[in-house]
Structures are given as structure tokens and as C-alpha cells.
Amino acid sequence: MTTTGILDVDAVRRRFSSLRGDFAFFDAPGGTQVPDEVGDAMARALREASGNLGAPYETSRRVGAIVEDAERRAAAFLGCRPHEVLFGLNMTSLDFTLSRTAGRELREGDEILVSNLDHDGGVAPWLELARDRGATVRQVELHPDTTIDLDDLRGKLSERTRVVAFAWASNAVGTIAPAREICRLAHEAGALAWIDAVHYAAHEPVDVEEIGADVLLCSAYKWCGPHLGIAYVREASAAGWRPYKARPAPTDPFARRFATGTYPYELLAGLIATFEYLDSLGGVAAIRTYERALGERFATALPAGVRIYGLPGMDGRVPTFLATVDGVPSADVATRLAERGIGVWAHDSWYSLGLRPTLPYESDAVRIGMAHYNTEAEVDRLLGELAALR
């Protein structure tokens, strides 16, 4: 039995059909494996709750119960109230929707600040909005170790700043941003604090009230759930926003007014099962310790000729690493590891277009990410295969 603290990893893995073979998945930053109970819940909803809200019969009541339960559980996960939770196709779609809604009040000359640590899913919506409204998007620089330069942020905040948008954790190098401090600085300037927590929420507990977020977005596929975007929208910040939606659609509860169509109820059923799965393990706080131990095991035992970028260890990061192997193109590294039963990806920018110019590799790099279902033996196997590639 493989156990670390309260986490019985062998028992965890038995809940995933995809983990019953010998293939080692280190591709969690691109999407995690999904426990069987999540798929079962989705199938059950399609069989037993195929309907829509508002009808006077049982399937409609089941749909209503699914939505309310999903909102309640998501609120507990994020640290907010259920009526401040919004669901959508994915984080990027929600970001475009909500930025367009908030941007109705944007004027020519207004400014939006983004971070060079960000995934483009958190940048492109503002670039397109700024183009339409005559606003300006400014980028906050990074230190050489990929941490956000807070002095540069302070210097770029002004009376024209309307939004400070940033990624709480990098999907490429794993670096964590100081969310509470950035939110405080944004509010002192009279701006909204707008957070991409897609990668952070997969590895660290979230409390939107504690950090002071106005909008926060994440995606369940990063933490063993279905492909589904989730947003927190602070009621006090967004009460005056006029949503884009069909006119007869209801505007209560609060966050549902920003939904652009019917929810995917079967995905919400899968989301409920995902929260139940995480709760059965003790929540994200419980798996965090184990994942960080895996990351430390990897970072402190790198073979000669293998380089990771950004922060050198686990301090200030989640267990996601960008790496190169001397003398071996990263696309070949990914292919050869796959042939040996280890799953990683190679890419040039990892959609982090502001971060990419600061990273010294020539063409692409391999991204390696741990999830709580990975084992110490898998990490050791990965290290051995990386050493053998040279």
C-alpha cells in the first residue's frame, strides 16, 4: 500500500479505470484523469434528469436540484455564496463573457493591467475588448525567476486602471502570484481584481473572500472533473453590470443572470461527484501536502543535463515544471517518454505569450505536472527515464 499521511494513493487509484495500467500520467496541467464515479454521475443525469428548469414534473425538479447542489458545492470550494457562482463551457468562454459584460462601462483611455505570467485565455479577452473600446492593455513585468514584479505593478497602476487581471499560478512554470497583495493594490487604485485560478485551484485551496477577488475563474477538468468552467462573481462588484442574454431569461439568482444559455446539467452532475470525490480525500488542502512532496522529490533529484525553468524548488510554486534535456529536442523527449509509458507534452509557449520571451530555451520545452494520483515510484521512474535519454 502506498500511503503518505492520510492519503492512501493505492485506494485513490482504484477509483480510476484509466490508472489500472502501467502508463504514468504527468500531464495534469493539460487536464487530469477522471474517477469513474464522475462519469457514472454524468450518465445517470442523462438517464434520469433529461429536462430543463421550470417544468412541473420530476425530471425538471431533478435538474433544479442538480443546479442548486452544484452552486452550493462550488461556493464551498471557492469560499463564496451560492448565488455568486456561474458555470460555463470553459474558463476562456466565461472570461470573454464576463469581460464583455464588465467592459460596457469601459471608456477610451482606460487601462487594463495583465501579467506576463498569464495564460492567453486570461489576456486575449482584454485585448479584444480594448480594441473595441479604445482602451489600453499594459503588461506587468516579471523578475528573472518568473515571479511578478510588484514594484512594476505599483508603477503602472493609475487613476485610469479599471481592471487588474492575473493568473494566480502559471500553467507553464508553476509560479504562484501573491493574489492577496495584488487584489489589495488593485482596489486601492479603484480597479477590479480579476483572477485566472485555473491552475492554482487544482493544487491549492481557494478563498475568494480572504484574498479579495472581484471575479475568479477556474476549470474542473484540472482537478479530476468534467470540462466545465466555473466563475465567482462578487455581487457587490457586479450588481450594476448589464448582462448579454436573451431577454425572457431569468435574472435571479444573481450570477445566473450572466449565463448565456442553458447549463449542461449532466456536467454539473459530474461536477457534484467531483466535489464529493475530493471531499472523500479531505479536500484540496489534504492532497496539497502529498502533491508538494512529489514535486520536491522530482526537483531535488534532477539528473545531470535536465534543466527546469523558473523557481528552483517547491517554494512559491505548484508541482508543475517546465524542463529541457541537454542535446535532445523536447518533442523527441515527449515522444520517447510516451514510448516508455510516461505522458508529458512539448510545446513552445504553453499559451503564456508574455512569459515565453523570458525563457531561454530555443524552440520548445517539456511540461511535467504532478497530481495526487501519481506515486513516488512513478516520479522515480520518470527521473530514471529522463537520465537515460541523454
Task: Name the DSSP letter for residue 303.
Answer: P
Q: Which three cell numbers, joined as nine digits, stand for 78?
A: 471557492
Domain count, the chain: 2
pLDDT of residue 251: 86
Per the DSSP assignment, residues forming a β-bridge with 242 are none
Digit-coded pLDDT (tens) for 197-219: 999 999 999 999 999 999 999 99
- 243 shares a domain with 94: yes
Helices (H) and strands (E) in the chain, counts: 13, 15
Residue 328 belongs to a domain with what CATH number? 3.90.1150.10
- 383 shares a domain with 270: no
- 357 shares a domain with 322: yes
- C-alpha to C-alpha distance for 152 and 355, rounded to whole angstroms: 15
Task: Name the DSSP letter for residue 343.
Answer: E
* Whether the bond into 253 is cis, omega within 30 of 0: yes
- C-alpha to C-alpha distance for 103 and 163, rounded to whole angstroms: 10
Digit-coded pLDDT (tens) for 65-101: 999 999 999 999 999 999 999 999 999 999 999 999 9
Q: Which of residues 238, 260, 278 is at a domain's end?
A: 278
CA dihedral 314, 319, 322, 323 (to 10 degrees): 70
- 154 shares a domain with 262: yes
User: Read out DSSP for 255-269?
Assistant: GGGG--S---HHHHH
- 363 shares a domain with 340: yes
Q: What is the 3-state secondary structure (H, E, C) of 13-81?
A: HCCCHHHCCCCEECEHHHCCCCCHHHHHHHHHHHHHCCCCCCCCCHHHHHHHHHHHHHHHHHHHHHCCC
Question: Using only C-alpha atoms, what is the Rg of the chain?
Answer: 21
Residue 214 belongs to a domain with what CATH number? 3.40.640.10
318 neighbors 367 (Cβ within 8 angstroms)? no
- 316 shares a domain with 197: no
- 343 shares a domain with 221: no
- 257 shares a domain with 333: no
Per-position pLDDT tens, the chain of length 390: 354 557 999 999 999 999 999 999 999 999 999 999 999 999 999 999 988 999 999 999 999 999 999 999 999 999 999 999 999 999 999 999 999 999 999 999 999 999 999 999 999 999 999 999 999 999 999 999 999 999 999 999 999 999 999 999 999 999 999 999 999 999 999 999 999 999 999 999 999 999 999 999 999 999 999 999 999 999 999 999 999 999 888 889 999 999 999 999 999 999 999 999 999 999 999 999 999 999 999 999 999 999 999 999 999 999 999 999 999 999 999 999 999 999 999 999 999 999 999 999 999 999 999 999 999 999 999 999 999 998
Q: Which of residues 239, 255, 278 is at a domain's end?
A: 278
Q: Which of residues 213, 247, 278 is at a domain's end?
A: 278
- 180 shares a domain with 56: yes
- 200 shares a domain with 302: no
- 271 shares a domain with 158: yes
- C-alpha to C-alpha distance for 155 and 159, rounded to whole angstroms: 12
What is the span of the domain harbouring residue 63?
Answer: 40-278
- 217 shares a domain with 95: yes
Q: Whose grid coordinates read 494520483?
A: 373
